[in-house]
Amino acid sequence: MTKLKFICIASGSSGNCFYLGTSSYGLLIDAGIGARTICKVLRERGIAIETIMGIFVTHDHGDHIRALGKLSNGRYNIPVYTTEAIHIGISHNYCHTNEIPQNNKRYISKEQTLMIKDLEITPFEIPHDGSDNVGYSIRYGEHNFCFITDIGHITDTVRKYVAKAQHLILEANYDENMLENGPYPAILKERIRGPQGHLSNRDTAEYLANEFPTQLKNLWLCHLSQKNNTQALAYMTVKTALERIGKRVGEDLNLYALQRLHPSATFEFE
């Protein structure tokens, strides 16, 4: 097995896109920023867009699907994997200018594992307010990744997949005080806090402190709000909760709060 690479290309309400791959092929999870930026970041990291075997979509909100039309057509010709309900949602979404060609629509079902070469991918149900919503558990050899971007609350299904993860990408969307005192209208605040909305820093911190995944080595906090959060607040809230249960950040596990607009480093795993 060759090295596995993970890159967060973008994360947050302005656009989401993650890369996971080996030295010869890889996947994208969501493609919610411009196709040109995705290609540029990959190229800068020595990854050719031609090696992307598929895009796995979490849900049909604009910040997750923007580049799907471009990347599934023409010279890119990349298949798009998601549930039937999300495919239908994408085809109705205003952000979506180019249609995904029928031959590049791949339909997947929750908790049905599929293989892309040596990557074993299992989508699972997530509570959020897209047409339908999934997270992805992805295994490669000994490595188990779990991708959860937008999520309103933690369910037993989510617990089951997070418990297996060594590498977890999980939302820490907002600081509760910043949201309360921030500029959003009341109805939007309610949507964000609601059970089909997003997790706060505290929600994520308390969940992980109460049910720490025993194998967890790397934790990336994703989908930080521009208006209602900061990297430092998300990081400190989670770090403090983990320290309370005796976990040493930087020794027992690594913790990162992902930047919204700048790609992360390339993380490599043997």
- In the complex, the residues that contact Zn ion under the rule CB under 5 A are 61, 63, 150
Q: 186 near 180, Cβ under 8 Å?
A: no
Residue placing its CB nearer to Zn ion in the complex, 89 or 239: 89
Buried b (16+ CB within 10 A) or exposed e, 32-60: bbebebbbebbeeeebebeebbbbbbbbb
d(CA 230, CA 227): 8
d(CA 31, CA 14): 11
**Minimum distance, C-beta of residue 77 to Zn ion, in the bound complex (Å):** 26
Residue placing its CB nearer to Zn ion in the complex, 32 or 213: 32
Residue placing its CB nearer to Zn ion in the complex, 23 or 91: 91
Q: 30 near 62, Cβ under 8 Å?
A: no
Tokens standing for residue 35 = 């196709």
**Minimum distance, C-beta of residue 62 to Zn ion, in the bound complex (Å):** 8
Provide CB contacts within 8 A for 237, sequence distance 6+.
172, 175, 201, 202, 204, 205
d(CA 175, CA 171): 12
**Minimum distance, C-beta of residue 1 to Zn ion, in the bound complex (Å):** 32
Burial class of 112 by CB neighbour count within 10 A (0 to 12, 13 to 18, 19+): exposed
d(CA 92, CA 187): 24
Task: Say which amino acid occupies 105.
Answer: K
Residue placing its CB nearer to Zn ion in the complex, 79 or 197: 197
Dihedral sign (CA 163, 126, 84, 72): negative
Strands 167-171 and 134-140: unpaired
**Minimum distance, C-beta of residue 250 to Zn ion, in the bound complex (Å):** 29
**Minimum distance, C-beta of residue 30 to Zn ion, in the bound complex (Å):** 8
Residue placing its CB nearer to Zn ion in the complex, 4 or 222: 222
Residue placing its CB nearer to Zn ion in the complex, 4 or 134: 134
**Minimum distance, C-beta of residue 66 to Zn ion, in the bound complex (Å):** 11
Residue placing its CB nearer to Zn ion in the complex, 14 or 230: 14
**Minimum distance, C-beta of residue 136 to Zn ion, in the bound complex (Å):** 15
